[in-house]
Amino acid sequence: MSVPDHLFVPLATNAQVAEAIVRPQLTFWQEAWLKLWKNKLALLGLIVIILLILLAAFGPLLTEQNYSKQTLTQANHKPDGVHLFGTDELGRDVFARILYGARISLFIGITAALIDLIIGMIYGGIAGYIGGRIDNIMMRFVDILYGIPYLLIVILMMVVLGPGLLTIIIALSITGWIGMARIVRGQVLQLKNNEYVLAARTLGGNAWYIIRKHLLPNAIGVIIVQVTFSVPSAIFAEAFLSFLGLGIQPPMASWGVMANDGLPTILSGHWWRLFYPAFFISLTLLSFNLLGDGLQDAFNPKRRR
């Protein structure tokens, strides 16, 4: 069956309409934020993290109880209007200790992640950019450090420096930067042969200038994602060490210390002493992981539409 020619009418062409950009122009960061905003789980994780930081900073102002004040007559008191989360075996308010422990746990996690970020970016950037024998030697050193259990390092630090907050941060930072260094090295190896890097090298840019101005900014998306995963790893490591008695020492409090103190009492019916620190540890780890997954999708160029 043939179709009559008069049914086909050519559309009127307009050069301005044809060349108009229908999709709004967005920068890399605007597009990443737009995709992150559409990811409800990642946005929920970000909101929870902000609330936890605000509670750690201003939470002690919300209660009149002191985290270290001992009232033996109120030992193992159930949650009520005075003690929202109950008390421990020494009569200390669990809610006040949770708020104070948030400072310790978040401080350790964020500080360790920032140290890993600085060391890993510098080490991985240099290894990836120089390449060759230098890269091989530097990465073999990384492999040696990777084979050392961090628990052994913590024990050695305890012997040398003694238990404390600084000891945990140092112990977590000694081997914590390895993952960041490997990721940065891989990104630099992919980017260093691009045209803009060759142009900068031809114009006389030295290695440090090219790494700082061209390579690391183009790998910043992957680096940010790695940082969001490093923070919960450090928080969990601190909680695990404190749970074993190798972390924060009294009278300081962290969620890991509180979980360690509350575990023996769960069979006696004092469930709140273990539940609340375990809940906040789990909530923090889940929030950072949700945010990390959302950032990974937002910064992934293969997922752009």
Which are the contacts of 180, defined by CB distance < 8 A and separation ≥ 6? Answer: 116, 117, 119, 120, 121, 124, 223, 226, 227, 230
Q: How confident is the model at residue 9 (pLDDT cuts 50, 70, 90)?
A: low
Q: How confident is the model at residue 304 (pLDDT cuts 50, 70, 90)?
A: low
Could you write out the three-class secondary structure of 272-291? HHHHHHHHHHHHHHHHHHHH
Q: How confident is the model at residue 47 (pLDDT cuts 50, 70, 90)?
A: very high
Cβ pair 125, 190 in contact under 8 A: no
Mean pLDDT calculated for residue range 69-85 = 78
Q: How confident is the model at residue 1 (pLDDT cuts 50, 70, 90)?
A: low
Q: How confident is the model at residue 129 (pLDDT cuts 50, 70, 90)?
A: confident
Domain ranges of the chain: 44-60+104-303
Q: How confident is the model at residue 24 (pLDDT cuts 50, 70, 90)?
A: low
Of 265 and 227, the one with more pLDDT = 227
Angstrom distance (rounded) from CA 79 to CA 68: 18
Of 48 and 69, the one with more pLDDT = 48
What per-residue confidence (pLDDT) applies to 152? Answer: 80
CATH architecture of 44-60+104-303: Orthogonal Bundle (1.10)
pLDDT per residue as tens digits for the range 162-219: 777 888 888 888 888 888 888 888 888 888 888 888 888 888 878 778 877 778 777 8
Mean pLDDT calculated for residue range 282-291 = 89
The answer, yes or no, to whether residue 303 has pLDDT greater than 60, is no
Mean pLDDT calculated for residue range 73-84 = 79
Which are the contacts of 208, defined by CB distance < 8 A and separation ≥ 6? Answer: none
Cβ pair 116, 230 in contact under 8 A: yes
What per-residue confidence (pLDDT) applies to 50? Answer: 92
pLDDT per residue as tens digits for the range 81-107: 777 888 888 888 888 888 888 888 888
Cβ pair 223, 180 in contact under 8 A: yes
What per-residue confidence (pLDDT) applies to 15? Answer: 61
Cβ pair 170, 109 in contact under 8 A: no
Global confidence as pTM: 0.78
- Name the percent of the chain lying above pLDDT 90: 2
Q: How confident is the model at residue 19 (pLDDT cuts 50, 70, 90)?
A: low
Angstrom distance (rounded) from CA 256 to CA 273: 12
What is the DSSP code string of 180-240? HHHHHHHHHHHHTTSHHHHHHHHTT--HHHHIIIIIHHHTHHHHHHHHHHHHHHHHHHHHH
Cβ pair 259, 97 in contact under 8 A: no
Q: How confident is the model at residue 289 (pLDDT cuts 50, 70, 90)?
A: confident
What per-residue confidence (pLDDT) applies to 244? Answer: 74
**Of 142, 110, 102, 112, whose CA–CA distance to 126 is shortest?**
142
The answer, yes or no, to whether residue 21 has pLDDT greater than 60, is no
- Name the percent of the chain lying above pLDDT 70: 88
Angstrom distance (rounded) from CA 161 to CA 141: 24
Q: How confident is the model at residue 3 (pLDDT cuts 50, 70, 90)?
A: low
The answer, yes or no, to whether residue 301 has pLDDT greater than 70, is no
Q: Tell me which H or E stretch contains 166.
A: helix 165-176
Q: Tell me which H or E stretch contains 47.
A: helix 40-58
